[in-house]
Structures are given as C-alpha cells and as structure tokens.
Amino acid sequence: MKIISSPLELKNYLKNQNASIGFVPTMGALHEGHISLMKRAKEENDILVVSIFLNPTQFLKGEDLDKYPKKDEADKRICELFGVDVLFFPQVSDIYGSDEASVLAPKVRGFVLEGESRPGHFNGVLTVVMKLLNIVNPTRAYFGKKDAQQLNLISLMTKQFFMDVEIVPVDTVREKDGLALSSRNAYLSKQERAEALKIAASLRAASALVSRGILDADEIIKVMRETLAPLEIFYVEVVNRDFEKISVAQIGNTVILAEVKVGTTRLLDNIWL
Ligand code: PAF
C-alpha cells in the first residue's frame, strides 16, 4: 500500500495509472461501515484509493473536532488488510490555505434537517469532497446511506458541477442489535449505547407501519417520536429522494430519518423505502 500526503503527488501518480479508480473518502476511525465501502469499491474498480482526513471545515464552533476519535495506526492496518492500493493521508495545510474559495451547499436542501441543526456543516462537507474528488479524479466514489443527506448533496453537487464521477450509495452496516455503525459510537457509555438502540427501534416501528400500508408521514413521525422518548430529538422526518418533506410516504421514493442526542453524542440513522 502506498501512503501519500501531497495532493499533487497523488494526482500525478493516479494520472498515469490508466485504470478505473474507486475512491472511499473517510475521516478515519474506520469501522465495518467503511470496510463495506472499501470492499464494494475494490470489487468494482482496478485501483482502490482511501482518504483519511479529519476535515475541520465541516465542524461548527463548539463541536467535537478535538475529541473526534483518532486511530491512525489501526486505520492504516485496516486499509492494508482490505487491499487499499493508495492511502491519501494529508495534513490540514495540504488541503487548506488561508484565503480560500469554497463550495456553498444549496440554500434549501443544504439547510434543512442536519443542515438546520448544524448550519454551514454541508458547506464544509461539499468543499472538502470537491477538493478530494479533484485530487483523486475517481471513476466511482462510495458513500454510506446512513449519511443520507450528505449523500444526496454530494450527488447533487457532482451533477450540478458536471463532474465526471459516479457516486455510489452503499447500505448502512448495523450491529446485531440494530445500532448503525458510526465512528461516534465510540463516545457512548454502556448505558448510552443501550439508549441509542431506540433509534433503530423507531425505524423498525416506522417500517412496520409502512408494511401495514400506513404511509401518512404525521402518523409515522408520531410513532417514531414516541419510540425515541425521552431522547433529545433534533429531527424525525419523512422526505422524498430529493430531500423535500412529503405528507405521504411513497415506496421507492422515500427516506425516513431521525437524528437524536444520546448523552452528548449526536447520532443519526434512516431507512430508505
Ligand atoms: O462522511 C464522512 O466521513 C465525511 O463527511 C466525508 C465525506 C469524508 C467528508 O469529510
């Protein structure tokens, strides 16, 4: 496995490969969710590139940037084990200068749900993803469906900027008891982890309603909120694949999402109908 920290060195190296490139951007603290992205990218491309970059611009003031789990050595071993060909491991100064151009998230879709509770977060995500895609120039880039709004905005950006990359959504990986894998799960105490199971339970309750033909969004949201109580809820919402709120769920065009606080940790999850 080659480890490269300079954007220009990586760009030049990949330019000469004449092969399909699968790219998995991450912020490190790799888990089974990342591994499933890597496996899929490995299967579908000649070269697998993974980036590990804890992007400061997507954290708001007072958020958990400083305590975000850092596991550089373990991450490198995981990458090696799962056949990563090139690991891009830049420093902040390799990616950002002092007076910077940036990408702005769309005014509506980028500022609802997570974008409403974390205003500006998606500007940071889109800016770094634009930079990473321009450096790696991949054939395909892989993102988890757990971060559904992020995935939607990245797909939108690559279409609207006429970028030559296929964005591939990959299913959420869960623990046996339903908890969606997230680097943030590392913050949870034993008791908080047990409380966090309410998130998957609320989505199962939503799914049970849908399978009984109950598609009314208010009804679904009410039952989910009851299941999540007494956790602090940022949002519970039923949206279409364009992230517009809808009053009736439609099979094939709906995402049901929840974001809650467990202890001091923000956790999100969703199901796609
Ligand atoms: O999902 C993540 O880990 C990050 O938001 C991403 C896409 C790597 C950008 O920093």
Q: Are residues 32 and 65 in the same domain?
A: yes
Q: Are residues 149 and 193 in the same domain?
A: no
By the 8 A CB rule, do 84 and 4 touch? no
Q: Are residues 62 and 161 in the same domain?
A: yes
Q: Are residues 165 and 195 in the same domain?
A: no
pLDDT of residue 115: 96
Catalytic residue among 4, 30, 34, 231: 34
Verify whether residue 31 is a known catalytic residue. no
Name the residue range of residue 206's domain: 188-265
> Nearest to residue 257, comparing CAs of 180, 209, 192, 199?
199
At 71, which amino acid appears? K
pLDDT of residue 168: 98
pLDDT of residue 47: 98
Residue to substitute in 103, 129, 168 for testing ligand 1 pocket (most ligand atoms within 8 angstroms of CB): 129
CATH at 216: 3.30.1300.10
Instruction: Report residues whose beta carbon is within 6 angstroms of any ligand 1 atom.
Output: 25-27, 55, 58, 125, 128-129, 147, 150
Domain for residue 178, yes or no?
A: no
pLDDT of residue 59: 96
Low-confidence residues in the chain, pLDDT < 50: none
Using DSSP's 3-state secondary structure scheme, residue 47 falls into strand
Domain for residue 182, yes or no?
A: no
Measure 25 CA to ligand 1 centroid, in angstroms: 6
Q: Are residues 166 and 197 in the same domain?
A: no
Q: Are residues 86 and 21 in the same domain?
A: yes
Instruction: Return d(Cα 273, Cα 240) in angstroms, integer.
Output: 9
Ligand 1 atom 6: residue of nearest CA: 26
Look up the pTM and report it.
Answer: 0.95
Q: Are residues 90 and 155 in the same domain?
A: yes
Instruction: Return d(Cα 128, Cα 57) in angstroms, integer.
Output: 8
How many structural domains is the chain composed of? 2
Domain for residue 125, yes or no?
A: yes
Ligand 1 atom 1: residue of nearest CA: 26
